[in-house]
Amino acid sequence: MIRIGIVGYGNLGKSCQKLVEKTEDMKLVGIFSRREIKKDGFYKIENIEKFKDDIDVLILCGSSDKDIRVQAPLLIKNFNTVDSFDTHKNIPSYEEKMGKIAEENDKIAIISTGWDPGLFSIIRTYSEAILEEGKTYTFWGKGISQGHYAAVRNIEGIKDASQYTIPKEEFIKKIKNGENSEFSPEAAHIREVFAVAEEGYDKKELEEKIKSIPNYFDKYHTIVHFISQEELNKNHKGMPHGGKVIRVGQSPNQNQSTIELSLSLENNPDFTAAVNIAYARAAYNLKKENKKGAFTVIDIAPKYLLKETRQELIKKFI
C-alpha cells in the first residue's frame, strides 16, 4: 500500500481525499491544513514532520501563488511530493529549486502535474517530436480555473469569486482551416470574473487589482462582474473546465497533418486529483528504484503511473 498524505483541504484536497480512499493500492494517512479541522485524520500543518516515517508521498493541494511555492521547498526535505504548480513561466526556476533540495535530501519531487501543465505538456511534446514543422496551439476553457479564482479570492476585499477562461472560437476555426494566425494565449482567450465584494471596499479599485494580477490577468482581456453571494452560489459554483491542444504541421512530403487532444471536464478538481494520484504512484515507483530529484510529466515513462507490471501493460495497451 502506498501511504499518502494530503496538504491543503480546499476543492482539490477534498477531491484527492475521495479518490485516495477509493484507490485500492493507496492508504490515506492524514490531511494537513493551516486550519484546525476537528475530525479524525486531520492535523495542523505545523505537526507534519511527526509523520515523515509514515507517509510515502505527500500530495500538495494548495494554490500555486501562495501555498505550493512556499510549502514545497520545506516539505521536500522530509517527504516525497507531488504538486500541481501551474504558473508556467516560473516552472523552470521552481523545478531547479526543488531539484536541488530533493537531491540533497534523497527525495522525489514531481512538479506541475494536472492537465495544463500536465497532460497538455505531454501532448505538446509528442506532437512537436512527430510534426517537427508546424505550430502548436493551446486553448483553455470554457471553464473555471482553480488557480485563477484562488488568485482573485486572495485579494483583500474579495469575499468570494469564480473565474471563467473562454477561448475565442474564431481562432480555433482559422487554425483548423490552415490559416496562419498571429496567435498568443492572451489574444486567443477572454477572462471573465464573477466576484463578491466585501462591504466598504471600492469596486473600481478591486476591479483594477484583479485585472493587474501578474501571470493570470494582466495581459488578458478581462471582464469583471460584481454580484451577490447568492447569485454566485446559484450560478457559478460548479467546477467545469476543459481545453484542447492542436498542432498543425507538415509530414515529410509537405502534406498537412493535425494532432489534437481535447478535454471536457465536468469537475476540474476531480480530474486534477486523478492526475495527481497517478503521479503519486509514479513517485512511489521511482523511489523504489532509488531515484531522487525533481521530475516533470515529460520525464516520467507511462509505466510508472499504473499498478500493472510492464509486461501486463504491453499486453494491454501495445
Identity of the amino acid at 35: R
Q: Is 10 annotated as a binding-site member?
A: yes
Q: Is 268 annotated as a binding-site member?
A: yes
Greatest C-alpha distance within the chain: 65
Q: Is 296 annotated as a binding-site member?
A: no
Give the β-pairing of 189-197 and 158-167. Answer: antiparallel
Q: Is 181 annotated as a binding-site member?
A: no
Q: Is 293 annotated as a binding-site member?
A: no
Give the β-pairing of 2-7 and 57-60. Answer: parallel
CA dihedral 73, 77, 83, 89 (to 10 degrees): 30
Burial class (CB in 10 A: 0-12, 13-18, 19+), 265: middle
Distances (CA, A) of 153 to 74, 130, 209, 238, 296: 25, 41, 11, 16, 28
Q: Is 257 annotated as a binding-site member?
A: no
Q: Is 34 annotated as a binding-site member?
A: yes
Q: Is 191 annotated as a binding-site member?
A: yes
Q: Is 115 annotated as a binding-site member?
A: yes
Q: Is 148 annotated as a binding-site member?
A: no
Q: Is 16 annotated as a binding-site member?
A: no
Q: Is 140 annotated as a binding-site member?
A: yes
Q: Residue 257's beta-bridge partner residues?
A: 249
- Helices assigned H by DSSP within 146-255: 146-153, 169-176, 185-188, 203-211, 229-235
Burial class (CB in 10 A: 0-12, 13-18, 19+), 212: exposed
User: Which of 227, 196, 193, 199 shows the shortest CA–CA distance to 212?
Assistant: 193
Q: Is 74 annotated as a binding-site member?
A: no
Q: Is 118 annotated as a binding-site member?
A: no
Q: Is 40 annotated as a binding-site member?
A: no
Cα 99 from chain centroid (whole Å): 19
Q: Is 184 annotated as a binding-site member?
A: no
Q: Is 35 annotated as a binding-site member?
A: yes
Secondary structure letter of residue 89 according to DSSP: G
Distances (CA, A) of 159 to 149, 232, 234, 283: 12, 11, 16, 37
Q: Is 11 annotated as a binding-site member?
A: yes
Q: Which residues are annotated as a binding site?
A: 9-12, 33-35, 61-64, 84-86, 113-117, 140, 165, 191, 241, 268
Annotated binding-site residue numbers for substrate = 140, 165, 191, 241, 268
Residue ranges at the known binding site for NADP(+): 9-12, 33-35, 61-64, 84-86, 113-117
